[in-house]
Structure 1
């Protein structure tokens, strides 16, 4: 039951990551060439690794990892909002 929260937050993080990649923000043009060549798969792979680590830790009883992942999601949400609305 405790794994549901990180899983749902992970889906939200993936959606936010995709929104940033598709936003066309000028900062994306400053990313290394291989990020563009792979279509953002490196960013999504990193997001998956973070989600997997959080779920593994929560699955073994480290409930604090779920709260840390929730905080990570909140910080991501603010950053995505700033990027997508072109405030930065």
Structure 2
């Protein structure tokens, strides 16, 4: 396990925390959804986040350390979108 794998793993933890913060924020767009859609949407979002993390880790371990950069950019976009949602700019 190299440094790229560790970086991707730590960024993955950050992405899960970002997603949870957005879903727990009570943003008006999320509150308007029916309860079933909220639960299903959060599960799907966390499931897709896990899939992206899993494949980034898999590719990193298989000798593609450049995916650490790609996952870092992905995390930056997630953080930017979360900031817009949590600061009520959207």
- Normalising by structure 2, we get a TM-score of 0.87
Q: Is the 8 A contact 2:5 2:65 kept in 1?
A: no
Deviations, residues 28-87 of structure 1 (Å, cap 9, x unaligned): 246576532437111111100000010001111111211100000001111000100101
Alpha-carbon distance in 1 for matches of 2:33, 2:46:
15
- Kindly tell me the number of residue pairs found equivalent between the two proteins: 88
Q: What residue in structure 1 maps to residue 45 of structure 2?
A: 43
Q: Secondary structure of the residue that 2:66 maps to in structure 1?
A: helix
Q: Secondary structure of the residue that 1:58 maps to in structure 2?
A: helix
Deviating beyond 2 angstroms after TM superposition, the runs of 4 or more aligned structure 1 residues are 29-35
RMSD (Å), alpha carbons: 1.8
> For residues 2-21 of structure 1, what are the structure 2 equivalents within 5 Å?
2-21=4-23
Q: Is the 8 A contact 2:60 2:67 kept in 1?
A: yes
Unaligned runs of 5+ in 2: none
